[in-house]
Structure 1
């Protein structure tokens, strides 16, 4: 089954990282990504740009476009992973790995009931 792991974080905590601290964090996260890719579990993954570059579309057919994030929260969605896991427990274990190297982030796990690949997963 496919699972989305959504990475939430307080944006200010990331923007305050020095380039060296950010590179170190990304090195640890990429190590996990590399292993998951070699196991055929990793699908598309992305580090999203910051919310000040976001726009939100709301409304009906002639939808309005608003600057800024889509929700009023302390944490923002800053990234996501699509994983092919045998079980929810396996997806949770992987999210716990990400949490171990990025302890101030929050990771939400959601099953994906429909997956139309833009980037194919290994083993497809």
Structure 2
């Protein structure tokens, strides 16, 4: 089964990161890197990516066959998706085990969501 581990950010978590020392930032990246290595070794890693700041995003709307893009409005939320891991493992419990290793989990900013099977809403 595939699971998407979503990592969120918000102004508070961004401020924490910005105020870390170089050593604290290096430790955060080390923890992320160790998880990537372990997932790859276990054959459970499908893909992992970080995402650009929301200000780099574009909203896409199609009306009457015409595509219009804008830099907003964005969702009315302070939190935004900062990155993700797509993994394939045997259970939600195993996915949660991996997600708990992500440093942002200490701030409650990590979500695990099952990926739907192709062609349907069944998991």
Q: Which residue of 2 aligns with 1:119?
A: none
User: Matched residue of 1:113: which SS?
Assistant: coil
Partner of 2:26: 23
TM-score of the two chains, using structure 1 as the length reference: 0.77
TM-score computed with the length of structure 2 as normaliser:
0.78
- Structure 1 runs, 4 residues or longer, greater than 6 Å off: none
Q: Structure 1 residue 95: deviation in Å?
A: 1.1
Q: Which moved more, 1:53-62 or 1:74-83?
A: 53-62
Alignment match, 2:2: 2
- Structure-1 separation of matches of 2:53 and 2:42: 30
RMSD: 2.2
Aligned-residue offset at 1:3: 0.7
Please, which runs of 5 or more residues in structure 1 have no aligned partner? 116-124
Query: Does the aligned pair in 2 maintain the 1:9–1:104 contact within 8 Å?
Result: no
Pairing of 1:1-124 with structure 2 (within 5 A) = 1-11=1-11, 12-13=14-15, 16-18=18-20, 20=22, 21-60=24-63, 61-68=65-72, 70-98=74-102, 101-102=103-104, 103-104=106-107, 106-114=109-117
CA gap of 1:52–1:28, structure 2 versus 1, over 3 A, is same
CA–CA separation in structure 2 for the residues paired with 1:69 and 1:93: 35
* 1:97 match: secondary structure: coil
**How many residue pairs end up in the alignment?**
113
Residue 113 (structure 1) shift: 2.0
Q: Which has the larger radius of gyration?
A: 2
